[in-house]
A and B are shown apart, each in its own frame.
Chain A
Amino acid sequence: MTSADIYKIGVASLLTVSYLAYSVFLYSTLPIPKNSTSIAAQQGKLVWQKYNCNACHQVYGQGGYIGPDLTNVCANRSELFIKTFLKYGTPTMPNFNLTEQEIGQIVAFLKNVDASGSADPRTFKTYIDGTIKQ
């Protein structure tokens, strides 16, 4: 090994140890430590994934762009309105022939997402250092 190699390995090791420590720290101190998600909402998340809803819709700005962001849809629309969309589809969205149970679980999931925070950019405060907070 040359002295340059030792220096490079030192920097790479320091970075890798920091990265692994950061990862382990995040796994062990998840942002929401207490799980208060209902069983229906947990099932609803899996139904959301099963039908790949994320391909068209966003949650917290992540996902597809052809449909609206649904993070806070439960705050803005009634449960009946959401269930009707899920049951019959729209001119863009197909009817997935969801069962009543699946519809209920997706609604529970969306209520849980809504309760977790706001994705509305108008609700963010910006600070002089360029950071943001809700």
Chain B
Amino acid sequence: MVPLNNNKRDIAKRFILFALSLLLFGMAFGLLGTLQYLIPGLAKNYISFEKTRPLHVSSVIFWILFAAIGSVLSYVQAYRKTQIAFPILLKLQWGLFAGTTILIILSYFTGKFGGREYWEFDPIFFLPILLGWIFFIINFIATIGTFKNQPVYVWMWATGCFFFLFTFIESYLWVFPYFRNNIINDMTIQWKSYGSMVGAWNMLIYGCGFYLLEKISEDKTYAKSTMAFVLYFTGLTNLMFNWGHHIYTLPTHHFIQRISYLISMSELFILGRIIYKWKSSLTEAQKLYHELAYRFLLAADVWVFLSLVLAIFMSIPAINVYTHGTHITVAHSMGTTIGINSFILLAIVIDIIQNSNNITSNQIKWMKRGFWMSNISLLIFWLSLIIAGILKSKWQMQINKAPFNEMMSNAKPIFILFSVSGIFLFAGIIAVILPILQSQINNAKTD
């Protein structure tokens, strides 16, 4: 493969290394959160769950965002065979994002919250993130130069850039009393923005995944094919109109449910295509399996399949009424954020770092062990959440409901399984990430 970028002080790489640190930090707090599930009240006077959860959630969301930005920046330069158009804006973006993230984490420790899902920090941090994102868009457009005859991944990056900007602003409409004062209005707009925002960062990540697959397979035709664009437009339609499945049970406009339900069924086309292409995908997998980055892409493909099956079921309102508010929803978000997003991002990170650093064969061996450990434990983790969700769903539908604490106690064996598999998942991901960080430290020493 052609090295992407040998500049060891490349800012794009700084985004990636900061992202990896956030992933480790976020997973550590995820682990603490699972222990607090098992031992109610654990450390509640020092770091209770309302702090643990945002420390976990925000860190992993920022892992996704930082890694996606770093990946897009690296691949845009490699694709255009040029440097970033405005390095000064990139430096400013880096400073704004890294500084804000550190301040957000510190604010959680001090118990200062904005209290919204995903963005649980004080709304004051909206401004530097917004400004940094605008700098990112300016650099992206200026570096790409033209949109003439571009492959699908450039369309996906552009979509991710603009839709994140729109949905991020939309997610802060709650600061105006007009949107905030009624809970139904507030939740309708909140989940409209969040549902599409996830689609926006998925576009950035999947776009990079597409680029990487093209690079590994050396097939330059697929990214410009009609099928690639049909899949892109299916994804875009879902990004725009499929957010309603988050709020099927909310007494909001009924047409939101109908539109979302109808649009979500277009995912059956993607599912059908995966099944149809299974055999040819397997042949390609055998050919490229020796590439570690490819293995993570392959694992993400399996998780796309599993998550899609679950998502399609959850998109049917009559089924969603049973799964909503249960751990089945958590299983879905874990399958997508870890199995799909994080595995694609790890594949990209491995590709970018491996090309510009010396990772020893012994370290590669550990990374391969980490790959297997994280995948097997994620499957157990995912299944245990589904079982916990089924138990909660059964409890929710009982005529004479037992108290909430009793339901939680009954589910304890499942939570133990979920916690143990979570520990192994964490260990597996550490085995993948540590060699990357080690190689960076060694690189810095030899400079």
Interface-lining segment among A63-71, A80-88, A98-106: A63-71
- The A-contacting residues of B in range 221-253, CB under 8 angstroms, are 229, 233, 236-237, 240-241, 246-253
Min Cβ gap A73→B in Å is 11
B8 at the interface (CB under 8 A from A): no
Could you show 5 A-B contacts with beta carbons less than 8 Å apart? Answer: A32-B185, A37-B181, A61-B329, A62-B191, A131-B318
A65 engages B330 (CB within 8 Å): yes
B396 engages A121 (CB within 8 Å): yes
Q: How far is the CA of A37 from the CA of B182 in the complex (A)?
A: 6
B170 engages A126 (CB within 8 Å): no
Min Cβ gap A6→B in Å is 11
A55 engages B120 (CB within 8 Å): yes
Contact with A along B305-319 (1 / 0, CB 8 A): 000000000001111
Min Cβ gap A30→B in Å is 4
A51 engages B113 (CB within 8 Å): yes
- A35's nearest neighbour on chain B, judged by CB, is B181
B325 engages A119 (CB within 8 Å): yes
B295 at the interface (CB under 8 A from A): no
A8 engages B155 (CB within 8 Å): yes
Q: How far is the CA of A77 from the CA of B155 in the complex (A)?
A: 53
B366 at the interface (CB under 8 A from A): no
Min Cβ gap B148→A in Å is 6
Chain B interface SS verdict (over half): helix
Min Cβ gap B94→A in Å is 28
A15 engages B240 (CB within 8 Å): yes
Are A49 and B49 also in contact (CB < 8 A) when A92-B40, A112-B183, A121-B322 are?
no
Contact with A along B109-143 (1 / 0, CB 8 A): 00001111100100000000000000000000000
Min Cβ gap B57→A in Å is 9
A5 engages B53 (CB within 8 Å): no
B116 engages A49 (CB within 8 Å): yes
Q: How large is the interface on A (under 10, 10 to 19, 20 to 34, 35 or more residues)?
A: 35 or more
Q: How far is the CA of A45 from the CA of B181 in the complex (A)?
A: 8
Which A residues are within 8 Å of any B CB, using their own CB?
Answer: 1-2, 4-5, 8, 11-12, 15, 18-19, 22-23, 26-27, 29-32, 35, 37, 42, 45, 48-56, 58-69, 91-94, 112-113, 116-117, 119-122, 124, 126-127, 130-134
Q: How far is the CA of A50 from the CA of B122 in the complex (A)?
A: 9
A117 engages B37 (CB within 8 Å): no
Min Cβ gap A16→B in Å is 8
Partner of A124, one of B120, B173, B246, B249: B249
Q: How far is the CA of A2 from the CA of B253 in the complex (A)?
A: 41
Q: How far is the CA of A48 from the CA of B330 in the complex (A)?
A: 22
Are A66 and B113 also in contact (CB < 8 A) when A31-B252, A94-B48, A117-B184 are?
no
B236 partner residues in chain A, CB cutoff 8 A: 12, 15
B189 engages A27 (CB within 8 Å): yes
Min Cβ gap B329→A in Å is 8
Min Cβ gap B277→A in Å is 23
Residue among A11, A113, A124 with max Cβ neighbours from chain B (10 Å): A124
A92 engages B189 (CB within 8 Å): no
B180 partner residues in chain A, CB cutoff 8 A: 42, 45
Are A51 and B115 also in contact (CB < 8 A) when A23-B170, A91-B40, A134-B251 are?
yes
Partner of A31, one of B148, B184, B397: B184
